[in-house]
């Protein structure tokens, strides 16, 4: 039987009396101000395929978000219309009073 050749690297052996060898090695490589020196965490990200129901829910959520943004934009425009009317009226009255 042929021996298997894994492409994975072998794990690093850290001696019991020297637990911070990686952080020291990283600090030597990148400098003492490197922000991730001594950070030893790993995270796993899980993803799933969207089915038809999930896709419909996502499209619905995006449509609701777009509708809310449109209402906010129209509200801002409707808020400024009276102010602009007052400014134009003040300019017209000011122009009439100068004559």
- Tell me the per-residue pLDDT of 51-75, one tens digit each, with 9 for 90 and over: 999 999 999 999 999 999 999 999 9
Quick one: 56 and 32 in the same domain? no
The tens digit of pLDDT for each residue in 1-55 reads 555 666 777 777 766 666 565 555 555 555 555 555 555 667 778 888 889 999 9
The whole-angstrom separation of Cα 25 and Cα 14 is: 12
Residue 10: what pLDDT? Answer: 75
In a domain, 87, yes or no: yes
Structural domain containing residue 28? 13-43
**pTM of the shown model:** 0.42
Quick one: 73 and 37 in the same domain? no
Q: With residue 23 as reference, give the H or E element that holds it.
A: helix 21-30
Number of domains observed in the structure of the chain = 2
Contacts of 21 (CB under 8 A, 6+ apart): 14, 15
In a domain, 24, yes or no: yes
């Amino acid at each position: 039987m042929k021996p298997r050749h894994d492409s994975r690297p072998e794990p690093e052996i850290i001696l019991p009396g020297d637990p911070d060898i990686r952080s020291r090695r990283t600090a030597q490589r990148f400098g003492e101000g490197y922000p991730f020196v001594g950070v030893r965490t790993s995270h796993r990200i899980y993803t799933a395929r969207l089915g038809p129901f999930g896709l419909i829910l996502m499209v619905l959520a995006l449509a609701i978000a777009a509708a809310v943004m449109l209402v906010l934009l129209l509200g801002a425009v409707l808020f400024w219309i009276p102010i602009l009317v007052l400014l134009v009226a003040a300019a017209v009255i000011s122009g009439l009073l100068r004559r």
